[in-house]
Amino acid sequence: MNDAIAVRDLFKRYGNVTALNGITFSVASGTIFGLLGRNGAGKTTALESCIGLVRPTSGSVRVLGLDPARSKDLGRLRGRFGVQLQTTSLPEKATAREILDLYAVYYGLKPAADAMAARVGLEGRVDRFVGVMSGGEKQRLALALALQHDPDVLFLDEPSAGMDAYGRRVLWTEVERLKRAGKTIVLTTHYIEEADRLCDDVCVIQYGRIVARDTPVRLVERFGGDASISFDAEGFHLDSSLSSAGVWTHEESHWSVVTRKEPGQMLAAIVTHANRSGASISSLDLHRPGLEDAFLAITGERIEETVPEAAA
């Protein structure tokens, strides 16, 4: 598979702030690539280096074989990529339709504001002024603008920020549809569920460095740790087979076990043993490791989980 994007040894310094401390990654054509990291990790700087908005201090970037830091290459790239920035300033006194139509004219397309609005969940709101749109609605409009000229490569910076649950679902469905259409998508997020659901590959970025890269499933396998089960059971005692299947702790009737065994099987073994020995289980909790556990293990930090709800 060809690489749509290749970034090598990229550094970006602002005075004594090092925003990017030598990052290298590539993105295969037709895949969804995620930059996952906390606030200030360098996600936007990396993405904006790929679209010619940030001029790297050193290192190289190639998008579809072209260098976005060179104005001639950038001119050739413009129609081939679409960008949804983290913050987009759109004219407040224009309607969504007027802006979509203006972009359509710029790219030499037939105006299709209603169809574009429907794709991003803005049906019926296309004649609203930007000034009265909610944060999430503005993000959806920005997404429509990124998509309208049907680019091969999409850069989405925190695409679900400010969106409510419905907006996120529309966005994720649209991103999955774009992938099926063969597009290459780079997105930044600090929303674990978004990275998990959408991305073929995830780069964990911390303090301007890439500290891990893999598929979400492999990141969890490599770094997520073991599953754990905890339960309350009066009269419960371990037998030798359960005892050797994990690392147990207990305090009075509250028991916990960390196990490398398939957690569903371990759960069944605990319940069977409790029933046979006459112990009664009053509560039971199974924790399977997820991408959030992997992120914590990789970075030593928790990621901000909450996505601000939009006042839709």
Ligand X SMILES: Nc1ncnc2c1ncn2[C@@H]1O[C@H](COP(=O)(O)OP(=O)(O)OP(=O)(O)O)[C@@H](O)[C@H]1O
- Binding of ligand X at residue 14 (CB under 6 A)? yes
- Binding of Mg ion at residue 84 (CB under 5 A)? no
- Binding of ligand X at residue 306 (CB under 6 A)? no
Q: Rounded to the nearest 10 degrees, what angle do helices 291-299 and 216-223 cross at?
A: 60
101 vs 158, which CB is nearer to ligand X? Answer: 158
As a whole number of angstroms, the distance between CA 2 and CA 260 comes to 38
- Binding of ligand X at residue 40 (CB under 6 A)? yes
| Interacting residues of 238 by C-beta distance below 8 A, sequence separation 6+ | 248
Instruction: Please identify which residue in the block is written with the tokens 């993105």.
Output: 27
- Binding of Mg ion at residue 49 (CB under 5 A)? no
- Binding of ligand X at residue 50 (CB under 6 A)? no
Residues 168-227 that bind ligand X (CB under 6 A): 190
Residues 248-287 that bind ligand X (CB under 6 A): none
Q: Which residues pair with 285 in a beta bridge?
A: 230
Q: Which does 190 bind (CB under 5 to 8 A by kind): Mg ion, ligand X, none?
A: ligand X
- Binding of ligand X at residue 289 (CB under 6 A)? no
First-residue to last-residue Cα distance in the chain: 41
As a whole number of angstroms, the distance between CA 248 and CA 80 comes to 56
DSSP for 25-38 reads EEEETT-EEEEE--
Q: Which does 42 bind (CB under 5 to 8 A by kind): Mg ion, ligand X, none?
A: ligand X
As a whole number of angstroms, the distance between CA 26 and CA 175 comes to 19
CB of 236 to ligand X, least distance (A): 45
Burial of 30 (0-12, 13-18, 19+ CB in 10 A): middle
- Binding of Mg ion at residue 45 (CB under 5 A)? no
| Interacting residues of 208 by C-beta distance below 8 A, sequence separation 6+ | 12, 18, 19, 20, 21, 22, 23, 41, 42, 45
| Interacting residues of 161 by C-beta distance below 8 A, sequence separation 6+ | 86, 135, 139, 307, 308
In the list 4, 25, 27, 43, the residue contacting ligand X (rule: CB under 6 A) is 43
Piece of the chain touching ligand X by CB under 6 A; list 21-29, 37-45, 87-95, 274-282: 37-45
Total residues interacting with ligand X, rule: CB under 6 A: 13
CB of 86 to ligand X, least distance (A): 6
- Binding of ligand X at residue 31 (CB under 6 A)? no
CB of 157 to ligand X, least distance (A): 7
In the list 42, 52, 167, 263, the residue contacting ligand X (rule: CB under 6 A) is 42
Site residues (vs ligand X, CB under 6 A): 14, 17, 19, 37, 39-45, 86, 190
Site residues (vs Mg ion, CB under 5 A): 43-44, 86
